[in-house]
Amino acid sequence: IRSQLMPINHTYPLHVLMEACRHYPTPPRKRITFEYLMLSGVNDGLDQARKLIRLLHGVRAKVNLIPFNPHSGA
């Protein structure tokens, strides 16, 4: 799904970005912020939440969970 929504994923795959985040020299008391758009019935379930936790393992992170608000033209 990520590649369909974000064509840049072909150039910078998620596993490459996450590895870079794990090695980023985060200052003390600072975190990398991730914006996670939740699409109803696609990636908003408990299973996906667990996958997100595993994905962020080893990263000092803050996660903003953003519910998608459907609108005309979306």
Domain assignment of residue 48, yes or no: yes
Integer Cα distance of 52 and 43 in angstroms: 10
Residue 73, in any domain of the structure: no
- What is residue 62's predicted lDDT score, i.e. its pLDDT? 98
Whether 74 is covered by a domain: the verdict is: no
The per-residue pLDDT for range 16-69, each reduced to its tens digit, is: 999 999 999 999 999 999 999 999 999 999 999 999 999 999 999 999 999 999
Handedness of CA 9, 11, 13, 19 (dihedral sign): negative
In a domain, 72, yes or no: no
Domain with 38 in it = 2-67
What was the pLDDT predicted at 74? 63
Q: Is residue 27 part of a domain?
A: yes
In a domain, 62, yes or no: yes
pLDDT at residue 67, rounded to an integer: 97
Mean pLDDT across the chain: 94
DSSP state of 72: T
How many domains, in total, are found in the chain? 1
Structure tokens at 31: 């975190």
Under a CB-based contact definition with an 8 Å cutoff, are residues 2 and 29 in contact? no
**Does the pLDDT at position 73 exceed 80?**
no
